[in-house]
Structure formats: structure tokens, C-alpha cells
């Protein structure tokens, strides 16, 4: 693992996502930035994927359940060569396949997601299929914190340990903000570690912006075939990387204007 190149990739993800959201006048840059470092580590060093063969049978599956933050995933897929970077210019434009919620019509994207609380049940299905077919891949599901309000997730949190899905790694982008306020004020998730432990998951807690820590944790969570599913609680900052976006509810919605765009780009350089 080369922390320098991964950090560089994370910066490129943020800049690319920012430009996409700016040009398309779309939303959700805050939640794209909070998971950018995690995506950088996943695509740089953790996921077994091949840009020239996106449907490779034994690839690792990454499901972005918080599909509204798609700009960062499209960005990393483009940067990694799953499709030409130029095609990202059409993001959100008339006729483009780059929908502003993640679309499975884009090479490298496993599922469309835009209604929260759908990723994890599908991930359980993929992980179970790997078990039944004796295939080696790992299924990753990247979720948001607000999304944990949805009951569908908790059905899966109950089921996965029952099925012994040790080939499933859930990552929670715990950026502490959802749509109408702070997570602790809407539905407090704490104590979250204990919840998952009580549900019989192996729990890891990390700083979701520390490249080395993300890498060490995700790679060991992926490697351990010990009969239990893994959940990685990543403490993150919504809007991470641009000071006026950090920890601000407004940047769940707002698209940067020209001045904000330039300022943000400057900070990301």
C-alpha cells in the first residue's frame, strides 16, 4: 500500500466529483466527500476488480447503497479506467447514462440504488450466492448512517450472522448528518458498536479519512473467513476536504456556484 498514491487518488476523486456536481447542478457532494478516502483505498488496494473486465466472475462486489453519493463512485471508476474520463462530462445531462443516483448501466457499478435501505439485502444475496457456489469473492456494502433508520437493513443485520456470511463486509460512512439534521437528533444510532455486537457481527471502528487505517482494517476484514460478517464503522466528516462544506447540512443539497466551485477546487489541490 502506497499511502501517497492513495491520498492522491482520493483528491482526484473529490475534484472530479465536485466538477460533476457543479456542471450538473446536482446535490449530495457532502456525502460524496465523506466516503472519498474509503473509495480510494478500496479501488487502489482492496477490491479485486479489473477495469478491462468489469463483469469478471470472481471480482469483489462493491454495492453503493447510499446511491445519492454516486459522483464519487463514478469518479473513481473513471479514474481507474472502467470507462473514459471524458464520459463523466455528461453526468446528469439530457440523454446521459450517468444518472445522478448510481446506475448499474455504468461499467463497474453492481447495482442501481437511490432508495435507501436496499443495498444490504442485495449484498446478503450476493454473499450467500458466493457461499453456495463456493466462489472466493468478497461482497462489500457501503452504507450511510442515516440509512440505518430503514428497517430493511436490520432484517439483514439479523440474517447475515445466521447465514455465517463471513464474505460480507459492510462499511458505514458515519458522517453524523442525514437529510433533516444531525443523526443524533433525528434517530441517535448510539451505542452502535454494541448494537452490531449484539447482532453477532465482528465490528471495526476506524477514522474514515486515515488512509493507512482504512487499508489495514478493510484488508483484514476481507481476509478473515471466520464464520461471521464484518461491519466497519468509519467515522467521517460530511463534506470532508472543503472547509465551508464540512459538517454542514446545507451541503447535502446545495450545488456549488461558480465562486464556491473555484474556492473548493483550490482547497482540494
Partner 1 sequence: MRTAFITELIRLAEVDEKIFLVVADLGFSVVEPFAEKFPDRYLNVGIAEQNMAGLAAGLAMEGYSVFIYSIGNFPTLRCMEQIRYDICYHNLPVRIVAVGGGYAYASLGPSHHATEELGMLRIIPNLIVSAPADPYEAAAVTRLMSRHSGPCYIRLGKAGEPVISRVEQPAELRVGQILPIVTREGATAVFSTGSMLKYVTDFLNENGIQASVYSFPFVKPMDKEVLTELFNRYRTIITIEEHQRNGGFGSAILELLHDAIEAGTLIKEPTIKRIAINDTFYSKAGSQDYLRSIAGLTLNLDLFKTEDL
Ligand X SMILES: Cc1ncc(C[n+]2csc(CCOP(=O)(O)OP(=O)(O)O)c2C)c(N)n1
Binding positions for ligand X, rule: CB under 6 A: 28, 31, 34, 66, 68-69, 114-117, 144-147, 173, 175, 177-179, 238, 252
Q: Is 149 in the site for partner 1 (CB under 8 A)?
A: yes
In the list Mg ion, partner 1, ligand X, none, the entry touching 69 (Cβ below 5 to 8 angstroms by class) is: ligand X
| DSSP character string of 100-147 | SS--TTSTT------STT-HHHHHHHHHHHHHHTT----EEEEEESGG
- Select from 81, 125, 136, 181 the one that contacts partner 1 (CB under 8 A): 181
Q: Is 30 in the site for partner 1 (CB under 8 A)?
A: no
CA torsion, ordered 223, 227, 232, 233, to nearest 10 deg: -160
What is the distance between the alpha carbons of residues 64 and 73, in angstroms, rounded to a whole number? 8
Whether the CB-CB separation of 218 and 171 falls below 8 Å is answered with yes
By beta-carbon proximity to partner 1, the closer residue of 25 and 225 is 25
In the list partner 1, Mg ion, ligand X, none, the entry touching 37 (Cβ below 5 to 8 angstroms by class) is: none
Q: Cα(first)–Cα(last) distance of the chain, in Å?
A: 22
By beta-carbon proximity to partner 1, the closer residue of 91 and 140 is 91
What is the distance between the alpha carbons of residues 64 and 118, in angstroms, rounded to a whole number? 10
Q: Is 37 helix (H, G, I), strand (E, B) or coil?
A: helix
Whether the CB-CB separation of 74 and 113 falls below 8 Å is answered with no
Q: Is 180 in the site for partner 1 (CB under 8 A)?
A: yes
By beta-carbon proximity to ligand X, the closer residue of 14 and 252 is 252
In the list Mg ion, partner 1, ligand X, none, the entry touching 65 (Cβ below 5 to 8 angstroms by class) is: none
Q: Is 151 in the site for partner 1 (CB under 8 A)?
A: yes
In the list Mg ion, ligand X, partner 1, none, the entry touching 105 (Cβ below 5 to 8 angstroms by class) is: partner 1
Whether the CB-CB separation of 154 and 201 falls below 8 Å is answered with no
By beta-carbon proximity to partner 1, the closer residue of 7 and 255 is 255
By beta-carbon proximity to Mg ion, the closer residue of 49 and 142 is 142
Amino acid at each position: 500500500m502506497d499511502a501517497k498514491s492513495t491520498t492522491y487518488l482520493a483528491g482526484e476523486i473529490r475534484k472530479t466529483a465536485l466538477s460533476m456536481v457543479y456542471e450538473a447542478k446536482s446535490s449530495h457532494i457532502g456525502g460524496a466527500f465523506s466516503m472519498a478516502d474509503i473509495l480510494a483505498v478500496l479501488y487502489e488496494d482492496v477490491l479485486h476488480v479489473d477495469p478491462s473486465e468489469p463483469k469478471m466472475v470472481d471480482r469483489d462486489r462493491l454495492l453503493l447503497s447510499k446511491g445519492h453519493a454516486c459522483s464519487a463512485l463514478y469518479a473513481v471508476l473513471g479514474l481507474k479506467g472502467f470507462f473514459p474520463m471524458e464520459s463523466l462530462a455528461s453526468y446528469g445531462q439530457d440523454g446521459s447514462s450517468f444518472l445522478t443516483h448510481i446506475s448499474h448501466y455504468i461499467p463497474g457499478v453492481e447495482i442501481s440504488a437511490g432508495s435507501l435501505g436496499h443495498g444490504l439485502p442485495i449484498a446478503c444475496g450476493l454473499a450467500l450466492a458466493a457461499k453456495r457456489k463456493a466462489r472466493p469473492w468478497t461482497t462489500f456494502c457501503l452504507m450511510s448512517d442515516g440509512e440505518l433508520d430503514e428497517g430493511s437493513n436490520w432484517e439483514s443485520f439479523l440474517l447475515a450472522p445466521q447465514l455465517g456470511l463471513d464474505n460480507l463486509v459492510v462499511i458505514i460512512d458515519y458522517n453524523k448528518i442525514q437529510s433533516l439534521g444531525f443523526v443524533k437528533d433525528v434517530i441517535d444510532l448510539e451505542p452502535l458498536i454494541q448494537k452490531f455486537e449484539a447482532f453477532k457481527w465482528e465490528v471495526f471502528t476506524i477514522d474514515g479519512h486515515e488512509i493507512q487505517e482504512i487499508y489495514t482494517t478493510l484488508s483484514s476484514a476481507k481476509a478473515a473467513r471466520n464464520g461471521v460478517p464484518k461491519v466497519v464503522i468509519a467515522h467521517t466528516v460530511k463534506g470532508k476536504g472543503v472547509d465551508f462544506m464540512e459538517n454542514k447540512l446545507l451541503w447535502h443539497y446545495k450545488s456549488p456556484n461558480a465562486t464556491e466551485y473555484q474556492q473548493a477546487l483550490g482547497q482540494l489541490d
